[in-house]
Structure 1
């Protein structure tokens, strides 16, 4: 990854919350492979299934360019996040907003970083509620053809009920087994998706032409497609929290195993993303659904298995994104309201959060539109350009150096994708909700 000539080491912020020792901070017992499957679980999720749909609006040339460009940009910004975790000797920035507070100041930092991170984490959990419910419904329809159909809203509620129990697990390390299973499932169902598309072959009269819509609608749909690609690169929002679980010594700082794990995660990411996007689009052209597994119908047993794998994966993904939110909410309640930490606080706070994401998911179950909106509004800043801004602020690479130019390119591209996909996603949610029967 590209780096600049850093300025003298930044002075540590004199804040007790930034000085997380081995005893009063998060448990630091994780190995490098923990970072691999936690990052895979965080990144390779519901978004991979919508990539052929995004290609359908962008076309072969722009779609391929955006896929490759996004992979390269976010790998670079992931490297920056890992390096910045211990950019001050003796200090570990265990949370994204801790790093933001160091970069932008005690007052401004949290307001710049925290809202974006929360949008990513809460947005992911809402989308995963919708995804889990839809895939459960699809699985049952394929596995039991004679069963009476159940409303999609009920399936989302069934999926959400699982998290009322899993949310009581205390921390990242306690969900390692769930996260590992989720990472394996993500690789499995992604492989099934592209292999099934390849085995099926191209549909009759497949077309790669842009969908025939009005000019305005086409522009909004293209913007939303950019957000769907952005949504696929979401691991940065929890990267520092994952790295915080890895032990660090002067001889072997945490950035070494974390980067090793991140590279492994990005390799898995490429194995999942590119075949699904390109082969799915090749097979169905512009007629592909916003979830490629919905488009695939045969062999029914394999597609049913893939949908069940998606359910298992998003169960783990939900918890990976929810854990930092739980931590923040509980610490805020303890600090501001003097509520003692413990089981009662955990039960109330975490159950309320699960109920909130469940309610929003049931109310707005627009999978593709939600991906585009949250992808632009939250994921583009945290994954594409906010790490570059922090890098420029802290490391101060020489003006017009390679590092300086690359970081500014990431910022420009990221801001463009944020604005375009946020507008496109919001407009499509409004348009689709006008014809949708709520709680159907």
Structure 2
């Protein structure tokens, strides 16, 4: 990403420099879309079936489409703030926090910075936990395959969380590891991989006629679900979907890779549309098929919650893809937030 952004490379030829004296950037709409997909299509996509189960078909689909429209609108507004004061010819804001300072001033800079880094800490912890759960799920998939689905296959997540943290520390020390086009491409490919594996396994259940009953209003209040629990789960589902759509903290780092012509905000708006459209299709695919397969008993994650046991190698492969994606997404999110 730094090559695209033109950082830290001494160049004497003015023809090779941008308007701010840095080397000309080489990123385009396609590379920006790849970065967006890398960040936004995370392992949370596999939890959207659970969210759909809480909301039902009508509200679930409507909320995903509504949040996608809100995301396009708000991120297009953020894209217009990349340069200050003019969105086409103004001075570039290289980071989200620089834009906050330029447009909103010092007090909001401090406030938004606190929120940003608090969220960053939560997200990176989430990546670590998700990776450890997927690593354990790989071990469980093999265990269940060898010993049977009712076997005792429980393992501690702690060694895997520690190992993931050590891995990220080591990767962060590699010089120029943060030139992220290739890393984003791999991470985006693996995100499609586990999304399609989860969707494909769910589709196989539905096609085989083993799918559970679903509802247009989601899980019903009854002996096993109180009204208070229903309300809590609905709001949790809304939060899951909203969080899955978020990439505001890295949008300027993505824009900082784009060529200066056409204007960065116009390129980013196209990338927003392409990336969020791809995101929404995957969300609806995973959420809808997972809910159709498991109904009200949809697990929190259709790959790590063992809604599927066989083929065990495919379940394990999906979790391998999750881990690879988390490694790349952690680097993108943490080092460019």
TM-score w.r.t. the length of structure 1 is: 0.63
Alignment of 1:65 with 2:75, yes or no, is: no
1:315: Cα distance to partner? 0.9
Which residue of structure 2 lines up, in the alignment, with residue 14 of structure 1?
A: none
CA distance in 1: counterparts of 2:70 and 2:295, whole angstroms: 27
Which residue of structure 2 lines up, in the alignment, with residue 285 of structure 1?
A: 295
Post-superposition Cα deviations, 1:33-85, rounded to whole Å, max 9, x if no partner, equal 22111111110002201111111111222222111100111011121122221
Kept in 2, the 8 Å contact 1:246–1:254? The answer is yes
**Aligned runs of 1:26-425 on 2, under 5 Å?**
28-88=25-85, 89-105=89-105, 107-143=106-142, 150-169=155-174, 173-201=178-206, 203=210, 206-208=213-215, 209-210=219-220, 212-249=224-261, 252-293=262-303, 294=305, 295-325=307-337
Post-superposition Cα deviations, 1:69-110, rounded to whole Å, max 9, x if no partner, equal 0011101112112222125233112211222122222x2221
Structure 2 unaligned spans of 5+: 1-18, 148-152
CA distance in 2: counterparts of 1:258 and 1:46, whole angstroms: 24
CA distance in 2: counterparts of 1:254 and 1:169, whole angstroms: 29
Which residue of structure 2 lines up, in the alignment, with residue 16 of structure 1?
A: none
Compute the RMSD of aligned alpha carbons.
2.4
Distance 1:155 1:27, change over 3 A: farther
Kept in 2, the 8 Å contact 1:96–1:114? The answer is no
CA distance in 2: counterparts of 1:272 and 1:140, whole angstroms: 27
1:170: Cα distance to partner? 5.6
Post-superposition Cα deviations, 1:362-419, rounded to whole Å, max 9, x if no partner, equal xxxxxxxxxxxxxxxxxxxxxxxxxxxxxxxxxxxxxxxxxxxxxxxxxxxxxxxxxx
Kept in 1, the 8 Å contact 2:42–2:325? The answer is yes
Kept in 1, the 8 Å contact 2:26–2:259? The answer is yes
1:191: Cα distance to partner? 1.1
Kept in 1, the 8 Å contact 2:50–2:299? The answer is yes
Kept in 2, the 8 Å contact 1:182–1:312? The answer is yes
Kept in 1, the 8 Å contact 2:178–2:332? The answer is no
Post-superposition Cα deviations, 1:187-226, rounded to whole Å, max 9, x if no partner, equal 1111111111011126465354326322222222221111
Kept in 2, the 8 Å contact 1:188–1:306? The answer is yes
Distance 1:200 1:240, change over 3 A: same
Kept in 2, the 8 Å contact 1:103–1:109? The answer is no
CA distance in 1: counterparts of 2:324 and 2:211, whole angstroms: 33
Worse-matched range after superposition: 72-81 or 138-147: 138-147
Distance 1:29 1:173, change over 3 A: farther
CA distance in 2: counterparts of 1:59 and 1:269, whole angstroms: 20
1:122: Cα distance to partner? 2.3
Structure 1 unaligned spans of 5+: 1-19, 326-440
TM-score w.r.t. the length of structure 2 is: 0.81
Kept in 2, the 8 Å contact 1:100–1:113? The answer is yes
Kept in 2, the 8 Å contact 1:29–1:247? The answer is yes
